[in-house]
Amino acid sequence: MKKKDRYKVLVALFFTVLFIAIGISSTQKNSLQIETRQTVQSLQDEQALQLRDIRNNLIAELAQAYSFDAETLLIYNLSTANVIFERQADTPRNLASLAKLVLARTALETPSEDTLCIELDDLAAIGDDELVVGSCNTESDILSAMLMASSNDLSLTIDRENPGREEVLAQYLDAYSLDMVINDPSGYDFRSFERASTGSASEILSVAFDLLLVSPSIAQITTRAEFTLGEQVLKHTYPGVESIPELRLLKTGYTDLAGGNMLAIVEPIPGEYIGLVVMKSGFDTRFSDFEKISDIVSTGYRITQ
Write down the pLDDT at residue 191.
95
Write down the pLDDT at residue 128.
81
In whole numbers, what is the pLDDT of the chain averaged over residues?
A: 90
- Rg over CA atoms, the chain: 28
Write down the pLDDT at residue 152.
95
24 vs 51, residue with greater confidence:
51
Which pLDDT tens digit goes with each residue over 164-180? Answer: 888 999 999 999 999 99
Percent of the chain with pLDDT over 70: 87
Which pLDDT tens digit goes with each residue over 145-204? Answer: 999 999 999 999 999 988 888 899 999 999 999 999 999 989 999 999 999 999 999 999
Is pLDDT above 60 for 133?
Answer: yes
Confidence grade of residue 235 (pLDDT, cut at 50, 70, 90):
very high
137 vs 164, residue with greater confidence:
137
Tell me the pTM: 0.86
- Yes or no: say if 215 and 139 are a contact pair by the CB < 8 Å rule: no
Write down the pLDDT at residue 110.
83
**Quick one: average pLDDT of 84-105?**
98
Write down the pLDDT at residue 302.
94
Which pLDDT tens digit goes with each residue over 38-48? Answer: 666 666 667 87
Write down the pLDDT at residue 15.
55
Write down the pLDDT at residue 17.
55
Is pLDDT above 70 for 212?
Answer: yes
Percent of the chain with pLDDT over 90: 75
Write down the pLDDT at residue 165.
82
Buried b (16+ CB within 10 A) or exposed e, 194-205: eebbbbbbbbbb
Write down the pLDDT at residue 25.
62
Write down the pLDDT at residue 142.
96
Is pLDDT above 90 for 78?
Answer: yes
